């Protein structure tokens, strides 16, 4: 990509989009365009098309999405499938109609069947039933993948799709009810430490295994793909290593400095038993993750203290 290329980062205020913007700026790109949700509703196809026609982008990173953990996916499946389908359809179609050189669509590892062999290879897509707790979100993401592939076949576009594993990092959602497991644990354990609570409840049995990738690593991988990859087949992005939720909770407890007990509640859903990505394709393309999980959790907690906990304390004092 030419450093003067005009680039749209959709979802720049989120965990992934903000990391992509930081990475592109560090690489020397000078024309990065962003819009907040109040400035442009990406679900509005006509507004998005007009925006693309005015700006004439060279490249697009589609990192905007409605995301959440098990609770949010369970309670709001209609919103998850509706909003994500609208966002994807609006942006992908506008990119085609305005001759964008290349678009990167970000999917999710939840697109793979619940009981697929481990580690998960790209060819396992659509070979079995999805995990019920996030089926609506997964179906929307699969539709985005297939839309990119269909446009490539019919219209000659270069729309690529990357499938990241579980993500964490600065600007994550730390709400214990709607976030993913790692930021939810950070928030729970921080508040338990501050309140002197003797225990923290952790959803599920603690036995499921998960892989975690720092958002800055994902951003670097996405920029790398934009430079070197032009095929329609999906590409996994992860670390190639996983751990149990119990082991994750212990790492978070150490980073937060919480001394209380961890109580696992097996009456609450575990989700998929294991979700580890086969990242050999990405390695062949010349990229590997660099940020160790323990260091990533520690830096994420520092960001939380500065940006979330500090603001919560300010509101408490004002009240």
The three-point CA angle 24-29-31 to 5° equals 110
Instruction: Report CA-CA distances (Å) from 163 to 135, 143, 312.
Output: 16, 13, 34
Q: Which residues are catalytic?
A: 137
Cα dihedral 51, 232, 109, 142 sign:
positive
Strand residues in 22-157 grouped as ranges (E): 31-33, 59-62, 102-106
Phi-psi region of 11 (alpha: psi -120 to 50; beta: other; left: phi over 0): left
Of 89, 102, 22, 101, which Cα lies nearest the Cα of 49? 89
Q: What angle do CA 95, 173, 32 make, to 5 degrees?
A: 35
Name residues whose C-beta falls within 8 Å of residue 217's C-beta, 6 or more positions apart in sequence.
239, 289, 290, 291
- In order, the DSSP letters of 240-280 are S--EEHHHHHHHHHHHHT--SEEEEETTS---SSEE-B--H
Q: CA 182, CA 175: separation in Å to the nearest integer?
A: 11
Could you give the C-alpha distances from 260 to 59, 105, 183, 197, 298, in angstroms and in order?
48, 41, 18, 7, 18
What is residue 315's predicted lDDT score, i.e. its pLDDT? 57
* Joined tokens for residue 244: 């149990």
261-302 pLDDT, tens per residue?
999 999 988 877 889 999 999 999 999 999 999 999 999 999
3-state secondary structure at position 60: strand
Structure tokens belonging to residue 241: 């290593």
pLDDT at 316: 54
Paired with 262 in beta bridges are 200
Q: With contact defined as beta carbons under 8 Å apart, do 42 and 94 qualify? A: no
Instruction: Please compute, for residue 32, the number of CA atoms within 13 A of its CA located in the half-sphere on the CB side.
Output: 20
Give this prediction's pTM. Answer: 0.93
How deeply is 195 buried, as exposed, middle or buried, from its count of CB atoms within 10 A (0-12, 13-18, 19+)? exposed
- What the chain holds in terms of domains, given with CATH numbers, is 6-318 (3.40.50.720)
Determine the pLDDT at residue 73. Answer: 87
Give me the residue label for tokens 């670097």: 220
Closest CA to 66 of 53, 51, 83, 49: 83
What gap in Å lies between CA 102 and CA 264, rounded to an integer?
45
Residues at the annotated binding site? Answer: 11-17, 106-109, 141, 164-167, 180, 188, 203, 210, 270
Residue ranges of the chain whose pLDDT lies below 70: 312-319
Instruction: Report the residue count for the chain.
Output: 319
Beta bridge partners of 277: 120
């Amino acid at each position: 990509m030419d450093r003067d290329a005009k680039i749209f980062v959709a979802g720049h205020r989120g965990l992934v989009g903000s990391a992509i913007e930081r990475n592109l700026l560090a690489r020397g790109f000078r024309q990065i365009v962003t819009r907040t949700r109040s400035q442009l509703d990406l679900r509005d196809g006509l507004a998005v098309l007009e925006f693309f026609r005015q700006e004439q982008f060279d490249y697009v990173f589609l990192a905007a999405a409605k995301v959440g953990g098990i609770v949010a996916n369970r309670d709001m499946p209609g919103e998850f499938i509706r909003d994500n389908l609208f966002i994807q359809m609006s942006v992908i179609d506008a990119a085609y109609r305005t001759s964008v050189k290349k678009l990167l669509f970000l999917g999710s590892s939840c697109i793979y069947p619940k009981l697929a062999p481990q580690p998960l290879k790209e060819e396992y897509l659509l070979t079995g039933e999805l995990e019920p707790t996030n089926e609506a979100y997964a179906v929307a993401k699969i539709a985005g993948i297939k839309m990119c592939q269909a446009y490539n076949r019919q219209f000659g576009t270069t729309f690529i799709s990357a499938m990241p594993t579980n993500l964490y990092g600065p600007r994550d959602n730390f709400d214990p009810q709607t976030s993913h497991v790692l930021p939810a644990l950070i928030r729970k354990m921080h508040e338990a430490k501050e309140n002197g609570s003797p225990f923290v409840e952790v959803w599920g049995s603690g036995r499921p295994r998960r892989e975690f990738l720092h958002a800055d690593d994902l951003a670097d991988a996405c920029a790398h793909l934009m430079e070197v990859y032009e095929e329609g087949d999906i590409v996994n992005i992860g670390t190639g290593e996983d751990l149990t939720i119990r082991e994750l909770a212990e790492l978070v407890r150490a980073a937060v400095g919480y001394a209380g007990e961890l109580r696992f509640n097996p009456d609450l859903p575990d989700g998929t038993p294991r979700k580890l990505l086969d990242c050999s394709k990405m390695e062949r393309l010349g990229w590997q993750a660099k940020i160790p999980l323990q260091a990533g959790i520690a830096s994420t907690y520092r960001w939380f203290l500065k940006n979330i906990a500090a603001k919560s304390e300010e509101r408490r004092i004002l009240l």
